Structure 1
Amino acid sequence: MSKMLEKLQNVAKNRIKYLSMPLDEKRKLYKCKEKYITIEKLIKWPEYFEKNELKYENLNNCSVTNPGLNDKISIFEGDITTLEIDAIVNAANNSLLGGGGVDGAIHRAAGPLLIQECKTLGGCSTGAAKITSGYNLPAKYVIHTVGPIGEKPELLRNCYRNCLDIARENNCRTIAFPCISTGIYGYPHEKASIVALNEIRNYIDQHSDSFDLIIFCLFMEKSKQVYDRFLPKFFPLRTNLNINNQTESN
């Protein structure tokens, strides 16, 4: 048996081992120890809106209000590597071999078996996505996607769409997204949030039965500010908004 074939078999064995591991056994391996966040602890969008006393500000051409979809959206201000859900998205680079920011944090929390599986994937093109086991992460899977450097809306749309496609293919009903490309890749926060929210709203309009919760993980204050501003446009909580007014109180 060649060394390459042996490595591939070991990766496959470890992948199956972790994906089939009982939850109580896997919890003993979490790097975050007892600080993992279950889905029950996450705040859904309608509750977040009220808690933060958000407003509808200059939101022309709002999406149609859909209470069922609103309950499938959550905001999480914290470490994506602590989420005990089906899948977290990694804002990776083309090599898939780790890097800085959220990419490095995910690799450190998952442990060395993650990079071993990533080495078998042959990298990833910008806008595409690939899936691995989560290993020592609370998340069952990691979906790796490579965002564009600079402002390239179609490539950024592809990231979100391809991640959601892979999630559906693997029956991942809960998925968390970081703010792809807004770090060192330099995509402006405001414009990136509009692309992300528009793509996700359009996608779950068509595939709402495939997801229980889609989580926006907002680690930076700038990201929180723009999502607070634009989430009401794509996931409005009211019908017949008076969008001619500058603001409408809750």
Structure 2
Amino acid sequence: MHTDQIEVVRGDITRLEVDAVVNAANSGLLGGGGVDGAIHRAGGPQILAECRQLRATTLPEGLPAGQAVATTAGRMPARWVVHTVGPVYSRSTDRSATLASCYRECLRVADELGADSIAFPTISAGVYGWPMDDATRIAVQTVLATESRVQRVVLVAFNEAAEQGYREALGRG
């Protein structure tokens, strides 16, 4: 991936016109707060129905941190939601490899779907407590280092700190 394929926007991920949006989900896949709740509300009951089906079949224990799985996007402009579970930040345990895996796995799933564009929230930087500068740096470095057929990556900043972190990591600060 090249930096000119990456956009930084501030806004509502549920309204973006991309092939896939990434949901920073919890392992249960049944909705929650933050981005997860917003995606489930915007996409409607189809997303929850597909998540329940995944839990009843291939993911009875839930989705492990660092992995990704796709469902419909329901009523959102996107075609798919790629759900991933970020790690909870820890000062005593380095979980950055798991956070990086979220981005790699989402791009892998996007490739399997045939998606040309994908939008990412700042995974683990909300209630999971990951420091914003580190979360945005890991996101940018991982996306740039991951081979993918995706042509357009949108990094969606939910606040000024996220937007600035992405821009600095991309050398656009």
TM-score (norm. length: structure 2)? 0.90
Contact 2:16/2:77 (CA < 8 Å) preserved in 1? yes
Could you tell me which runs of 5 or more consecutive residues in structure 2 were left unpaired when the two chains were aligned. 56-61
For residue 40 of structure 2, the aligned residue among 95, 98, 107 is 107
Aligned partner of 1:176 among 119, 144, 156: 119
Do the aligned residues in 1 keep the contact of 2:50 with 2:71 (CA within 8 Å)?
A: yes
Cα displacement (A) at 1:69:
2.2
Gaps of 5+ in 1: 1-67, 237-246
Q: How does 1:1-250 map to 2 (within 5 A)?
A: 69-122=2-55, 123-151=62-90, 152-203=95-146, 206-207=147-148, 210-232=149-171
d(CA) in 1 for partners of 2:96 and 2:12?
Answer: 26
> Per-residue deviation at 1:196?
1.0
Structure with more helix by fraction: 1
Q: Distance in 1 between matches of 2:4 and 2:32?
A: 34
Query: In structure 1, what residue type is equivalent to 2:87?
Result: P
Deviation sequence 1:13-64 (CA, Å, 0-9, x none): xxxxxxxxxxxxxxxxxxxxxxxxxxxxxxxxxxxxxxxxxxxxxxxxxxxx
In percent, how many aligned pairs have the same letter? 44
CA drift at 1:108:
0.2
User: Which letter does structure 2 place at the counterpart of 1:138?
Assistant: P
Question: Segments of 4+ in structure 1 off by > 6 A?
Answer: none
For 1:85 and 1:118, how far apart are their aligned partners in 2? 21
CA-based RMSD: 1.5
Q: Is the 8 A contact 2:9 2:163 kept in 1?
A: no
Q: CA deviation at 1:70?
A: 3.0
Count of aligned pairs: 163
